[in-house]
């Protein structure tokens, strides 16, 4: 995945160099690549060809990384560390961090719309995959969850609201990763439905584990600021 990401991202020596450096800085900061791995695992599970999903897996990692860059900004979570190193805006400034996130999001869809994604796969299936990812990243998914999360800071919220935040802010991209891997891998409708449900539950479980680590882990282990949820009055 890392080799493919290096291939798809603009080179640092191309103008505007600072933008491309900021994009690569966060992409290659040592993430676990959970979403690409899940996408390829879903493809494997239905007997598909990994080559058909690798570009989409890279696009998903670009979208995830854009969300982390923006999530760390002072206007949102105002975090100083991510993946064990200073956050993007601490190194490149807020304006460049915003633009680097914007660029990663748009480059992801350039890649998804290119012939490299799902070559030889029915165009209707490819369009469906792009739709799944776009919906998961937008107001019906990750962005919508982030808004409710920010609006709920310092508030007493009920369990359905908390579950909405987790399912949308974190779970949407995890679920979409599994769905797209299954779809591009050639899953039948019943298998796709089961893997979609698995993705939804896996996304929720991932966020629950992350909330626990925010309390129990130290910064060296977690790679980012700890105790930040409690400091901002976030329900977990």
Let me know if residue 227 belongs to a domain.
Answer: no
How sure is the predictor about 185, in pLDDT bands with cuts at 50, 70 and 90? very high
| 223: helix, strand or coil | coil
Specify the pLDDT at position 84.
Answer: 86
Could you give the CA distance from residue 39 to residue 44 in angstroms, rounded to a whole number? Answer: 9
Specify the pLDDT at position 174.
Answer: 98
Let me know if residue 230 belongs to a domain.
Answer: no
Let me know if residue 234 belongs to a domain.
Answer: no
Where residue 68 sits, what CATH number does that domain have? 1.10.600.10
Specify the pLDDT at position 120.
Answer: 76
Q: Which of 205, 177, 59, 62 is nearest to 70 (CA)?
A: 62
Question: Above 90 in pLDDT, residue 223?
Answer: no
128 near 192, Cβ under 8 Å? no
Let me know if residue 228 belongs to a domain.
Answer: no
Could you give the CA distance from residue 68 to residue 65 in angstroms, rounded to a whole number? Answer: 5
Let me know if residue 48 belongs to a domain.
Answer: yes
* Number of domains, the chain: 1
Total-model pTM: 0.89
- Look at the alpha carbons of 136, 171, 129, 192 in this order and tell me if their dihedral is positive or negative: negative
How sure is the predictor about 199, in pLDDT bands with cuts at 50, 70 and 90? very high
Could you give the CA distance from residue 155 to residue 168 in angstroms, rounded to a whole number? Answer: 19
Let me know if residue 100 belongs to a domain.
Answer: yes
Domain residues for the domain of 130 are: 2-218
Let me know if residue 236 belongs to a domain.
Answer: no
Average pLDDT, the chain: 91
pLDDT 10s digits, 68-109? 999 999 999 999 999 889 999 999 999 999 999 999 999 999
């Amino acid at each position: 995945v890392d080799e493919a990401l290096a291939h798809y991202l603009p080179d640092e020596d191309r103008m505007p160099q600072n933008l491309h450096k900021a994009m690569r800085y966060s992409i290659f900061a040592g993430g676990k690549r959970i979403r690409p791995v899940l996408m390829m695992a879903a493809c494997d599970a239905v007997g598909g060809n990994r080559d058909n999903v690798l570009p989409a897996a890279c696009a998903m990692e670009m979208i995830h990384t854009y969300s982390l860059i923006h999530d760390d900004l002072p206007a949102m979570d105002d975090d100083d560390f991510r993946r064990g190193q200073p956050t993007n805006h601490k190194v490149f400034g807020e304006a460049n961090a915003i633009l680097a996130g914007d660029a990663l999001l748009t480059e992801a869809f350039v890649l998804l719309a290119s012939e490299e994604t799902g070559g030889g796969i029915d165009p209707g299936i490819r369009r469906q995959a792009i739709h799944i990812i776009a919906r998961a990243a937008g107001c019906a998914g990750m962005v919508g969850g982030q808004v409710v999360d920010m609006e709920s800071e310092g508030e007493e919220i009920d369990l359905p609201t908390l579950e909405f935040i987790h399912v949308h802010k974190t779970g949407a991209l995890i679920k979409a990763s599994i769905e797209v891997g299954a779809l591009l891998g050639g899953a039948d409708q019943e298998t796709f439905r089961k893997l979609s449900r698995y993705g939804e539950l896996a996304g929720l479980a991932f966020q629950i584990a992350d909330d626990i680590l925010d309390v129990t882990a130290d910064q060296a282990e977690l790679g980012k600021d700890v105790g930040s949820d409690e400091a901002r009055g976030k329900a977990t």
